[in-house]
Structure 1
Amino acid sequence: MSFQNHLAYHSMYQKDKMTLGFILPTARMSKNPIMENQLELARKIEEYGFASLWLRDITMQNLNIDDNGQKYDLWIYLTYLAAYTKHIALVTGSVVLPLRHPVRVAKEAASIDQLFPGRLIMGVASGDREKDFTALGISKQESGPLFKENFEILDRLLKEDQPTIHSHAGLIDGTDMRLIPKPESSIPTMVTGFSNQSINWIARNGDGWLQYPRSILQQAQLIQDYRALTEVHAPGDFKPFSQSLFINLLENPDEMPVPIPLGYSVGRNRLVDLLHQFQAIGVNHLAFALYFSKRPPEEVIQELGEFVLPYFPTHKGTGQL
């Protein structure tokens, strides 16, 4: 699949290079996410030149944990951010396909792409939050098959002009109906995690892969396996690999990395060393999560923007808006 006209894709992804972004909210994890200053911080992230903002798809607040995402509905908040920022890529990390009707997802994604051309990178997932499944009356045990079916419907609606689709979700007769609007350009659609699928299926069907943090060695092996399979299914095509990384940026810039859940407490200079390692193994984009950060997000964003981002600059998009 060619994304030659997709500005966000080209600003985030090049072979053998890595760019940086942020998962929102940039506040420390809490039962009630702090959202009041997130637009201001999102604009600051864009002004420094970071490549992306990532949003999550969470329906219900789990009162037993502190991880509740950006609180607002994924598509509504993404539209809000798109309206008040200029060009930064907006990544769904990720649309939980078993919990959303695929025709509605296709319409939402196409609408975003029409209104804000070339800014959407669509991550999709099978979902892992039990209470969301319970609240919506959907069996989590069926999330794998539902993801696969809904992905295929979504993919056809976005990439074919007038497909005829018979599925569990409904009937679309391509002789007398079609999705409206159609996307302005091809929308990169990337599988998140494994989504209860094989790596072979992911390499064949996704336009890229969004993954969770692992050790350098583990991630290197996964990327190697993925690249080998993408070459089998789409010889010569570049399918980018992205991941998140949780960081607690320490004030001493030379502080060595200490593991925390899904990331590190680390000083900025040693963080740069780590990021070079991730780039070397084939990570093409990395999104920071500040959920365990002990410093004000304004400080962390400023320090990363001034001292870390220059090593991993956002690419100048070659797509045409």
Structure 2
Amino acid sequence: MPTGHENEGYRRLFETDGLTFGAGFPLTGANRSTPEPEAEIRLAKRAEAVGFDGLWARDVPTYWPKFGDAGQTFDPWPWLSHVAAHTDEIALGTSSIVLPLRHPIHVAKSAATVDRLSDGRLVLGVASGDRDPEYPAFGVDRDERGALFRDHVETLRTLWRDEFPEREGWWGRLDGALDVVPKPTAETIPLLPTGNARQSREWIAEHGDGWLFYHLPERTLTDYIDDWREAAGEKPFAMAVRAELADDPTAGPEQLHLGYRAGTEWFQDYFGRLAELGVDHVIVSIENDDPERGIERFAAAIIDAD
């Protein structure tokens, strides 16, 4: 799929006619405690070597045990800079930065820094958030998150594009006396609104560089993609899937939260159907007792078979 985008990460993920695959941190599966950085980096390098096109870090500002996980624990900006230093060409993504909980100048500067340090490999999933206790913790009105999200997207575009920008919002005011540097490697860092982000599909299609969504049943996914193509044309559609690889390659599917447990043969057919439906990229959370073996099995059976 031609993208016309100068960002290297975006081109790696989407400038192809086939389905591409990313792996989501924590690659070790330690999402309720702090993962071992050395093990995560070793697996990240292995994922790049065996053919994954993206590595995705979640933004979970605080740990809420009731929600069930802490993401990859590390703040996405220093973490992705660390990953960038240990990888070469694989895209680096966020899934996703919770914009209403962050100051847009900080997001603009941090994201552009990671983008520069990675030679343009950063792609930003952005979200309105879904962990209720975080809003009062950050002094943010939960009911205003939709409006805050829209303001942040427009502000980020302005801060990356303009020198000495003029922009005013709830967060403060820039009157043209200050610049926000560095600027990204391209005119903008690609933004993929995640889920509905409290926006209409038409707004996401107009203001996003693509759409990142959660796992959906195939019948529902078909309707979503058809509506997306009508609203957004060829802008890419990405989604997240949890995949637990059964030891038996012929095992049929068992429903999991946001994914499936199945043999590799079923997953081959499943991802083939996703490609036919028009999905452009899948972020896979691979469930396996041996994470490295899981990454290698998935690559050999699914990526190499594509």
TM-score strictly above 0.5: yes
CA distance in 1: counterparts of 2:78 and 2:64, whole angstroms = 21
TM alignment of 1:57-96, pairs within 5 A? 57-96=59-98
TM alignment of 1:67-146, pairs within 5 A? 67-146=69-148
Match of 1:8 in 2: 9
CA distance in 1: counterparts of 2:34 and 2:258, whole angstroms = 19
**Alignment partner of 1:239 is 2:235:** yes
Shift in Å, 1:3: 4.6
Q: Cα–Cα, structure 1 residues 3 and 81, in superposed 2: closer, same or farther, change >3 Å? A: farther
Give the residue type in structure 1 aligned to 2:23.
F
Is the CA contact 1:14–1:284 (under 8 Å) kept in the aligned structure 2? no
Match of 1:255 in 2: 251
Q: Per-residue CA shift, 1:90-119, capped at 9, x if unaligned?
A: 001111000000111111111122222221
Shift in Å, 1:7: 2.0
Structure 2 unpaired stretches of 5+: none
Aligned residues, how many?
Answer: 303
Match of 2:171 in 1: 169
Give the residue type in structure 2 aligned to 1:153.
T
Q: Cα–Cα, structure 1 residues 243 and 226, in superposed 2: closer, same or farther, change >3 Å? A: same
Shift in Å, 1:295: 2.6
State the Cα RMSD in Å: 1.8
Match of 1:303 in 2: 297
Q: Percent same amino acid at aligned positions?
A: 34
**Alignment partner of 1:187 is 2:189:** yes
CA distance in 1: counterparts of 2:226 and 2:262, whole angstroms = 27
* Highest RCO, 1 vs 2 (Cα 8 Å, sep ≥ 6): 1
TM-score, with length taken from structure 2: 0.93
**Alignment partner of 1:282 is 2:278:** yes
Q: Per-residue CA shift, 1:208-231, capped at 9, x if unaligned?
A: 111001011111111110111114
Q: Cα–Cα, structure 1 residues 15 and 303, in superposed 2: closer, same or farther, change >3 Å? A: closer
Shift in Å, 1:28: 3.5
Q: Per-residue CA shift, 1:106-147, capped at 9, x if unaligned?
A: 111111222222210011100111232232222222211111
CA distance in 2: counterparts of 1:84 and 1:212, whole angstroms = 28
Q: Per-residue CA shift, 1:219-257, capped at 9, x if unaligned?
A: 1111110111114xxxxxx31110000111101111111
**Alignment partner of 1:35 is 2:36:** yes
TM-score, with length taken from structure 1: 0.89
CA distance in 1: counterparts of 2:120 and 2:172, whole angstroms = 29
Is the CA contact 1:58–1:132 (under 8 Å) kept in the aligned structure 2? no
Which secondary structure state, in structure 1, belongs to the residue aligned with residue 147 of structure 2? helix
Is the CA contact 2:128–2:149 (under 8 Å) kept in the aligned structure 1? yes
CA distance in 2: counterparts of 1:3 and 1:188, whole angstroms = 12
Shift in Å, 1:35: 3.0
CA distance in 1: counterparts of 2:156 and 2:54, whole angstroms = 23
CA distance in 1: counterparts of 2:116 and 2:16, whole angstroms = 28
CA distance in 2: counterparts of 1:33 and 1:273, whole angstroms = 35
Shift in Å, 1:294: 4.6
CA distance in 2: counterparts of 1:119 and 1:294, whole angstroms = 28
Shift in Å, 1:151: 1.4
Shift in Å, 1:267: 0.5
